[in-house]
Amino acid sequence: MDQVIIGALIFVITFVLIITERIPNTLSALLGGILMVLVGILSEEKAFEAIDLEVIFLLIGMMVIVHIMSETGVFQWIAIKLAQFIKGEPFLLLVLLIWITAIFSAFLDNVTTILLIVPVSIILTEQLKVDPIPFLLMEIFASNIGGAATLIGDPPNILIGTAAKLNFNEFMFNMGPLVIINIILLIIISWFLFGKKMKVSRDLKAKIMDIDPNKALKDKNILWKSALVMFFVILGFVTHTFTHIGIAVIALAGAVILMILINKEPEEVFKTVEWKTLFFFIGLFMLVEGVVEIGIIKILAEKLLEMTKNDVKITSILILWLSGIVSGVIDNIPYTTTLIPMIQKEMIPSIMKSHPELTKKTIEYALWWALSTGACFGGNATIVGASANVVATGIAAKSGRKINFFEFLKYGILITLITIIVSTIYIYVRYL
């Protein structure tokens, strides 16, 4: 049987297993990745090279730091302060958390933001006795939207910025307005979906206002040490495009230094790492590399160029929609990596040759921002569309509130569709 068919079947069967949850999702992803090797689509070397160790070690480092911080009670302290700031009104709290998540995701990566925000949200919803799922879902969506605003906010942007030589300010100026528009829309949508159902009794609001947040703090010595380490880790993330130190190295260094500072045994700390989530990513990276290897994404991109006949308007809009659809199904990192050379070496030169009246910058902006918005916003469609989705749902499950594939899909498709439509209008009006 042709390897394209075999690879496509493995991919589809793996996704069916993930959706139906007949076996744990981690095992489904690992099985799919291993099968890509066993049937000869990937060599062992290529399969292991496909595992994005920067993502894996970034997660390990941040999980360790966040766990140590959580033991100090600082997340409870933040949660109580936020609840008191909005006087116990749950929808106002949701709005506040959406904006915080979006802003943090623009200047950190969205996985780190989720690791910081989700524990606070779970504590808050327990205090207010409201369903945590709307909060977690909207934070996931806000992290993927907010991450699109800057060069460092989302992995596809780092890849695009490096290849196209687009700087931090160009991303902020071009993607920032679109992100703000979509965050405002996300808040409006969340009101219609959840806002009217969020009710908290006056007695409960009064109790929350009476809580002394300082009583939540357990170990101020560890708190100051972990806060100092977190500050330098975040500083490292923000400046890594200038220092050229990888974000995974920064996170791991922070975790190691913090364990030394507080004299923590590694065995004790490593027990708290979400190994299930990490191995899910490992399987997913291998599985997706198999799909890339059999050439499905390349075929789609080449057909795209044939269909558009070098028209920059049609090409950019199709890249946007194709990126949105594909990034909802597979991780947006390998997809973006595959499309970048096609845009750079084939699409841009071909359109320039056919349309000499257009400047190179006009063509580049239309295509690169289409790829960025599609890859970042499309990740909201499914539970496996972006790293932040997997991490957030993993934390939710550990806290006793599982979000299944279809529950996520119901809201994810709606948010993705609206943000992609808005992005289409934005790119057409501003660049075309």
- Looking at the predicted structure, is the pLDDT value of residue 389 above 80? yes
User: Of 31-40, 238-247, 416-425, which gets the smallest average pLDDT?
Assistant: 238-247
Question: Is pLDDT at 88 greater than 80 in this prediction?
Answer: no
Q: How confident is the model at residue 371 (pLDDT cuts 50, 70, 90)?
A: very high
pLDDT in tens, 318-351: 889 988 988 887 767 767 767 777 787 778 888 8
Give pLDDT, residue 256: 93
Pick the closest to residue 159 from 75, 241, 256, 271 (CA basis): 241
* pLDDT given at position 186: 96
> Integer distance in angstroms from the first to the last C-alpha of the chain?
45
**Separation CA 299–CA 370 (nearest Å):** 19
Read off the pTM: 0.76
- Rounded mean pLDDT, 293-309: 73
Mean pLDDT of all residues in the chain? 84
Predicted confidence (pLDDT) at residue 304 exceeds the cutoff of 90: no
Question: How much is the pLDDT for 405?
Answer: 85
Sign of dihedral through CA atoms 54, 59, 64, 66? Answer: positive
pLDDT higher than 60, residue 294: yes
Per-residue pLDDT tens over the stretch 19-49: 777 888 889 889 999 999 999 899 999 989 8
- The pLDDT-based confidence of 368 (bands split at 50, 70, 90) is very high
Best-predicted range by mean pLDDT among 146-160, 184-198, 227-241, 378-392? Answer: 184-198
Whether 117 shows a pLDDT value over 80: the answer reads: yes
Domain ranges within the chain, ordered by starting residue: 53-270
Which whole number is the average pLDDT over 144-172?
A: 81
What integer pLDDT is reported at residue 236 of this predicted model?
Answer: 86
The conformational region for residue 129 under phi > 0 = left, psi -120 to 50 = alpha, else beta, is left
**Cβ partners under 8 Å of residue 334, min gap 6:** 50, 285, 288, 289, 291, 292, 297
| More confident: 50 or 136 | 136
Give residue 412's pLDDT: 93
